[in-house]
Structure 1
Amino acid sequence: MLASAEPSSAPERPSLRQAAARTGRRFGAAVRIEQIVAEPDLRDAVLADCDALTPEIAMKWDAIEPEPGRRDFSRADGLVRFAQDNGRALHGHTLLWHRSVPAWAEAALRETPDWGLISAHFESVLARYGADITTWDVVNEPIDTGQRMDGLRTSVFLAAFGEDYIERAFVEARAHAPQAVLFLNEYGLDYDIPVETDRRYLLLKLIEKLKVRGAPLGGIGLQAHLDLRKGPFSEPVLARFLGEIRGFGLDIHITELDVRERDLTAPPALRDRLVAEIAKRYLDVALDCPSVSAVSTWGLSTRHSWLAIEPEDLDFYWRLVGNQGPGPGFNRGLPYDSDMRPAPMREAILAAFERRPLSL
């Protein structure tokens, strides 16, 4: 699809991937192959700053199998080839997520709970990419504090298979990817506010349960969708939480870092400074934890950020074929702006890596 090449106009400043590598970590971003192909400036920035790529859409179940038995791996294959041609790692995302179940599969599971559907999906994806991808988000966003006492989301998976579906998913993934590090990926764990305090507690209880049962859980993904509207961010609270995850012997990835702004009408320079400040505060704490081995942003440029679209109904985002780019008032919470100019957030990420020792 694309010939192997280093970026034609690599920035003179230090790259994020080089700064991360000096600490023994990887830096990456969620990407779509169709955007990389169509936009050379985005491609150059990805190659300059990222040594790990996450498929934003292409490996989700509904993207791969929109109709029963009709699997389309073209976009995922294209991204795998791009990564291989350019010596970049891939992080698999995601095998089970309640928002990416094909309509036909959800209807079938609600009518007849058949684990064979899950097994066939896992096998089709992991058999194809197991040799190329060594880390996977197996279960994505299983927690919801507002639905059950145990904090599990009342998804189609829970309805069909009960609370053990998470353990079964990890066992299933291990059967098809015996060498991979298997992750549970979750959001809303960052702030010192009651709902996120509850979410942290429930995630730790879930980890404990999975570990006691011997599930092959190898890592936790912290999405880190930071939000300037939420209120207090506490460095000690985050540090303690990371230490508790580390205590289980798990790898930790920061998987979907971006920043939602509070006031989109403020002067751009002020907005960019506030975004950079919270990103730096968060990463200074995260990178103090030796178990944090990778940092990825959810997109590299505001041009394609889900926050730039600002849908109140996020179903709109998942139905969207491709956005047309943000207007001047849209969210600016990623390392590059919509014109692919480095934003202050990029320099904040770089500074967070550069304050770390050469290796962990």
Structure 2
Amino acid sequence: MRDPTSSVYSKISESSADNLPSAISPNRRDVLRAGLLFAASNFVSPANAIEDGLQTRAASRGLTFGTAVHSRQLQEDPSFRSAILQECASVVHEYELKWGHIERERGRYDFSKTDIVTNFAIEHGLKIRGHTAVWHEALPAWAPEAFRREGISVIERHVRSVLKRYSGRIEEWDVVNEAIQNYDNLPNGFRNSLLFQEFGATFVVAAFRAAREFDPNVKLVYNDFGIEYDNFRDRARRKALLPLLRSLREEGLIDGFGTQSHLTAGNPFNPKLLRDFLSEVASMGLSIVVTEFDVNDTKLDPDIGTRDKAVAEHAKRVLDVILDEKAVTGVLTWGLTDRYTWLNEPRFARPAGVRARSLPLDENYKRKPLWEALASCLSAAPDRRSRR
């Protein structure tokens, strides 16, 4: 049978993407979701009705649940598309919207892959997060010379370009990602990146100011990792982040803080330290979103049952604290299925034949104890709906 959604995943020209609607009516959205789930015979049917997904658990408390995706998964894996619509109300581009991927040649933007993800989301009524405009690890090869010749205007032009491209379609942006690295011994905990070497801390302000001036209605977020645990690295990062967030907020340049929450099962966790940090961020009037959640299980026994239980228990301990803070608006996982997790990369040493069990669904799209932990945490979170 022909895939009834194949037109969504065909190569889409930039001009056609510009004509897409910014929203789809709820009735049409529901029909499209149902059709995608059940119309094609080669789809993996979900174990439960769509109303039982994590997105429904989140919505019942005024939260949003979503995940990171990239275009190839959408184009080549019908089961993945089905799972997204089963579980998610929002998506974020995993890496294809990063600067080094979309402007490999100076002045020649290629949005063909990011359009596939964006159009999929629009077609099915999913929210979209923009990730990320400025990140030290995703600079195009031509950027260093351009920085030296033209200065910070290169960053400002790029920020305006990506916001313009998806104006009206992406409502929330990670403008700057991972500017803090406390053990680099720089002032205020900044990372010793090329961006800092060229511009100092002003590159962060310049990026946010360019975004704010271009589109005052877009929600602007600073995104970083390593704030959950009771160890030297995380304590120092929390300490460095607070004055940065406060300064950006006082200048009216930031609306939210994204905590990546790449967790590691077995790390020392003190609920009070995390609770106090999140409360301090919330006191600035900032929203908080979990942007890249997963659980590294490399420290655990390789037995699947043992690992799954430990991963779920660890995730629940941390997420219960995070979701108890009412400034938190949602959770996005860094992938939905173990089939595609970055934690299977060779840099994460594992015994031969052992693969990560770090996301809500296993490699065959079956729900795991981590899915149950997420469902429990979302369902038990304080209700935000009266605040919206």
Q: Could you tell me which amino acid in structure 1 is paired with residue 228 of structure 2?
A: D
Report the TM-score when normalising by structure 1: 0.91
Q: Which runs of 4+ in 1 moved over 6 A?
A: none
Work out the CA distance in 2 between the residues paired with 1:132 and 1:249: 25
Q: What one-letter code is carried by the residue in structure 2 that aligns with 1:145?
A: N
1:342 corresponds, among 335, 343, 367, to 367
For 1:149, give the aligned amino acid: P
Shift of 1:332: 1.0
Given the alignment, which residue of 316, 332, 339 partners 1:280? 316
- Aligned-residue identity in percent: 37
1:257 equivalent in structure 2: 293
Provide the C-alpha distance between the structure 2 equivalents of 1:358 and 1:250, rounded to a whole number of angstroms.
Answer: 18
Rg bigger for which structure? 2
Deviation at 1:173, TM superposition (A): 0.7
| SS of aligned partner of 1:92 | strand
Corresponding residue SS for 2:291: strand
SS state at 1:350 partner: helix
TM-score (norm 2): 0.85
Q: Secondary structure at the match of 1:169?
A: helix
Match of 2:275 in 1: 239
Return the offset for 1:67: 1.0
Could you tell me which amino acid in structure 1 is paired with residue 333 of structure 2?
T
Q: CA deviation at 1:356?
A: 2.7
CA offsets 1:115-137 (integer angstroms, 9 cap, x no match): 22112211221111021011000
Q: What is the CA–CA distance in structure 2 between the aligned matches of 1:225 and 1:124, rounded to whole Å?
A: 29
Structure 1: how far apart are the matches of 2:153 and 2:206?
A: 12
Secondary structure of residue in 2 paired with 1:78: helix
Find the counterpart in structure 2 of residue 88 from structure 1. Answer: 126
Contact 1:174/1:216, CA 8 A, preserved across alignment: yes
- Residue among 216, 223, 226 paired with 1:188: 226
How far residue 358 of structure 1 moved from its aligned partner, in angstroms, is 4.6
Give the distance between the partners of 2:178 and 2:143, measured in 1 at CA: 19
Whether the 8 Å contact between 1:61 and 1:95 is mirrored in structure 2 is yes
The whole-number CA distance in structure 1 between the counterparts of 2:383 and 2:326 is 12
Equivalent residue for 1:295? 331
Q: 1:239 to 1:153 in 2, by over 3 A?
A: same
For residues 1-360 of structure 1, what are the structure 2 equivalents within 5 Å?
1-2=7-8, 4-6=32-34, 7-8=37-38, 9-12=45-48, 14-109=52-147, 111-147=148-184, 148-212=186-250, 214-229=251-266, 231-263=267-299, 266-311=302-347, 328-360=353-385
The one-character-per-residue Cα deviations of 1:36-74 (angstroms, maximum 9, x if unpaired) are 221111111111100000000121001100111121000
Q: CA deviation at 1:357?
A: 4.5
**1:263-314 CA distances to partner (integer Å, 9 max, x unpaired)?**
465210000111111111111111111100010000001111110124259x
The corresponding residue for 1:318 is none
Note if contact 1:191-1:233 (Cα within 8 Å) is conserved in structure 2: yes
Distance in 2 of aligned mates of 1:89 and 1:327: 39
Structure 1 unaligned residues grouped into runs of 5+:
314-325
For the Cα contact (< 8 Å) 1:59–1:94, is it kept in 2? yes
Shift of 1:113: 4.9
For these two proteins, the number of residue pairs brought into alignment is 345
Larger deviation, residues 77-86 vs 153-162: 153-162
Structure 2 portions without partners, runs of 5+: 1-6, 10-31, 39-44
Corresponding residue SS for 2:222: strand
RMSD: 1.8
